[in-house]
Amino acid sequence: MKRTRDRKQNSVPIRIMKKLVLLLLIIGIPAVIFISTFHIEKIEVVGAQRYTSDEIISHLVQTRLDSNSISLYLKYHYLTNVNLPFIEKVDVAMKDTHSVTIFVYEKMIAGCVELMGEYLYFDKDGIIVESSPKLFEGVPIVKGLKFSKLLLGQKLVLEEQKQELFDVIIDLTQLITKYDLKVDNLSFNSKYEVTLTIGDITVLLGRKDAYDEALSELKNILAEAEGMEINIDMRNFVRGTEVIIAKPKKRQNR
């Protein structure tokens, strides 16, 4: 009887079950400790301008494993990068076992052109980096020019006879960023003269070899003209002479 009981206790299924229980204890207990010790309770997002912190967090933290600070760090440090428009990369840094900081590095956007309800965003080199139906605040729309080539990941190509204007576009968009001008539209007329639209203010820049001095002065003018509806004529502006004409906009009769 005793031998029969011993054989039952040492049967293959029982031995397997004991090993599984032992394995579960060896792996399971440390796993529970690991999950509870490094569970994320606080996330700080730094550097995001075109997305809210909640949008960044919801995109990065999608699974239970992502809620672990070590797992999240390893995932975006070694395994993958965030697949989100206008984001170049992200870095995850652990502040402590329950807190992480997500550093967001956005793609540099100089301006955009509109095509069939989509906005094609280009960088400082004129390469189209993203396409979106959404117009992001602070990005000027370039108008008045025809493009012969608009492909994602490739450089903007103007009509052959206008290709020299490409450098003008890049120069203007870089200066707009430099002087922190909230330009809505950057337009060219048939003579390739430049007009800026900034809210209710229209700025006639004309056609110049360089626009740095004019935009530097414009920044000072806009500080005084805030809230006005005016036309600012800087077509004949030359540093030292300050030939600038500002007139109220004519209201349309209804």
Query: Taking the CA of residue 183 as centre, how many other CA atoms within 13 Å lie in the half-sphere pointing to its CB?
Result: 29
Q: Where does residue 30 rank: exposed (0-12), middle (13-18), buried (19+ CB within 10 A)?
A: exposed
Q: Which is more confident, 27 or 112?
A: 112
- The arithmetic mean of pLDDT across residues 30-42, rounded, is 65
Using pLDDT thresholds of 50, 70 and 90, give the confidence band for residue 197. very high
What whole-number distance in Å separates Cα of residue 206 and Cα of residue 195?
7
pLDDT tens-digit series, residues 132-179 = 898 888 889 999 888 887 888 888 887 765 667 878 888 898 899 889
- The arithmetic mean of pLDDT across residues 221-241, rounded, is 83
Q: Where does residue 23 rank: exposed (0-12), middle (13-18), buried (19+ CB within 10 A)?
A: exposed
Question: Which residue type, as a one-letter code, is found at position 153?
Answer: G
| Closest by CA position to 43, among listed 25, 14, 67, 21 | 67
- Domain ranges across the chain: 39-106, 111-248
Domain 39-106 has CATH 3.30.450: no
Q: What is the dihedral of CA 83, 84, 88, 91, to 10 degrees?
A: -70
**Is it the case that residue 22 has pLDDT exceeding 90?**
no
pLDDT tens-digit series, residues 46-90 = 999 888 999 999 999 988 888 888 888 888 888 888 888 888 889
What whole-number distance in Å separates Cα of residue 131 and Cα of residue 123?
12
Cβ–Cβ under 8 Å, residues 219 and 244: no
Confidence at residue 71, expressed as pLDDT on a 0 to 100 scale: 84
- The arithmetic mean of pLDDT across residues 187-210, rounded, is 91
- The arithmetic mean of pLDDT across residues 221-247, rounded, is 80
Q: Which own/partner pairs from 86-89 qualify as long-range (CB within 8 Å, at least 24 positions apart)?
A: 86/50, 86/51, 86/121, 86/129, 86/130, 86/132, 86/136, 87/51
- What is the phi/psi pair of residue 14, to 5°? -70, -40
| Topology of domain 111-248, CATH | Rossmann fold (3.40.50)
**Is it the case that residue 238 has pLDDT exceeding 60?**
yes
pLDDT tens-digit series, residues 88-126 = 889 999 888 889 999 999 888 888 999 888 999 988 788
Confidence at residue 10, expressed as pLDDT on a 0 to 100 scale: 57
Q: Which own/partner pairs from 134-138 qualify as long-range (CB within 8 Å, at least 24 positions apart)?
A: 136/50, 136/86, 136/109, 138/182
Tokens of 81: 């990068």
What whole-number distance in Å separates Cα of residue 164 and Cα of residue 129?
21
